[in-house]
Structure 1
Amino acid sequence: MARTRTRQRRRRVVQDELVTDDTYAHDTSSRSIAPGRRALTLTDRWNTPLGKPNGGYLLAAMLRGLAAEVDGAGDPLVASVSYLRSPEAGDAELATEIIRTGRRVQTASATLTQEGKGVAHLVANFAGRPDGGRTEEFGQAPELPDPEKCFDPLASGMKAEGIFGQVEYRLPAAPGWATGAPSGDPSALLWQRLRGGREVDFPALALLCDSYAPPVMEIGESVSMTVQLSVHLHRLPAPGWIATRLHTRHLVNGFHEEDCELWDGEGRLVAQSRQLAILLG
Structure 2
Amino acid sequence: MYRGYRHRGEAFGQDEPVTDHYPQDITATRADDGTLSLAVTDRWNTPLGKPNGGWVLASMLRTAMDTTDVGRPVVASITYFASPEPGTTATLTVTPVKMGRRVQTVEVDLAHGDKPLARMTASFAADHHGHSQELGTPPQLPAPDGLPDPRDLGLPTDGLFGRVEFRMPVTPGWADGKPSGDPTAELWQRLDGGTAIDWPAVALLTDTSPPPVLELGQLVSMTVQLTVHFHRLPEPGTWVASRFTTRHIADGFHEEDGELWDEQGRLVAQSRQLAILL
Same fold by TM-score greater than 0.5: yes
1:135 to 132, 138, 145: 132
Q: Secondary structure at the match of 1:98?
A: strand
Cα drift, residue 129 of structure 1: 3.6
Decide whether the 8 Å contact of 1:36 with 1:95 is kept in 2: no
Cα drift, residue 34 of structure 1: 6.5
Letter in 1 for 2:103: V
Decide whether the 8 Å contact of 1:151 with 1:173 is kept in 2: no
Residue aligning to 1:23 = 21
Find the aligned partners of 1:99 and 1:119 in 2 and give their Cα distance. 20
**Residues 40 and 274 (structure 1 numbering): CA distance in 2 closer, same or farther, change over 3 Å?**
same
1:175 to 168, 172, 175: 172
Residue aligning to 1:152 = 149
1:58 to 56, 59, 62: 56
Q: Secondary structure at the match of 1:196?
A: helix
Decide whether the 8 Å contact of 2:92 with 2:108 is kept in 1: yes
Cα drift, residue 255 of structure 1: 0.1
Name which structure has the greater RCO, CA cutoff 8 Å, separation 6+. 2
Q: Secondary structure at the match of 1:144?
A: coil
Letter in 2 for 1:191: W
Letter in 2 for 1:154: R
Residue aligning to 1:255 = 253
Residue aligning to 1:111 = 109
**Residues 225 and 175 (structure 1 numbering): CA distance in 2 closer, same or farther, change over 3 Å?**
same
Find the aligned partners of 2:124 and 2:268 in 1 and give their Cα distance. 16
Letter in 2 for 1:201: D
Decide whether the 8 Å contact of 2:20 with 2:163 is kept in 1: no
Q: What TM-score comes out, normalization by structure 2 length?
A: 0.91
Q: Does 1:2 align with 2:6?
A: no
Q: Any runs of at least 4 consecutive aligned residues in structure 1 with deviations exceeding 6 A, and if so which? A: none
Find the aligned partners of 2:64 and 2:32 in 1 and give their Cα distance. 13
Q: Secondary structure at the match of 1:45?
A: coil
Find the aligned partners of 2:137 and 2:33 in 1 and give their Cα distance. 44
Find the aligned partners of 1:37 and 1:218 in 2 and give their Cα distance. 43
1:202 to 199, 203, 223: 199
Aligned-residue RMSD, C-alpha = 1.6
| Structure 2: tracts of 5 or more residues without a match | 4-15
Q: Does 1:86 align with 2:75?
A: no
Identity across matched positions, percent: 54
Letter in 2 for 1:234: H
Find the aligned partners of 1:33 and 1:109 in 2 and give their Cα distance. 20
1:196-236 Cα deviation digits (max 9, x unpaired): 00000000000000001110000000000000000011111
| Structure 1: tracts of 5 or more residues without a match | 4-14, 16-20
Cα drift, residue 115 of structure 1: 2.5
1:137-192 Cα deviation digits (max 9, x unpaired): 00011000011222421111111121011000000011000011111000100000
Find the aligned partners of 1:35 and 1:125 in 2 and give their Cα distance. 27
Residue aligning to 2:99 = 101
1:95-120 Cα deviation digits (max 9, x unpaired): 11001111200111011011221000
Q: Secondary structure at the match of 1:155?
A: helix
Find the aligned partners of 2:217 and 2:38 in 1 and give their Cα distance. 36
Q: Secondary structure at the match of 2:256?
A: strand
Paired residues, number:
263
Residue aligning to 2:219 = 222
Cα drift, residue 130 of structure 1: 3.0
Find the aligned partners of 1:266 and 1:59 in 2 and give their Cα distance. 26
Q: What TM-score comes out, normalization by structure 1 length?
A: 0.90
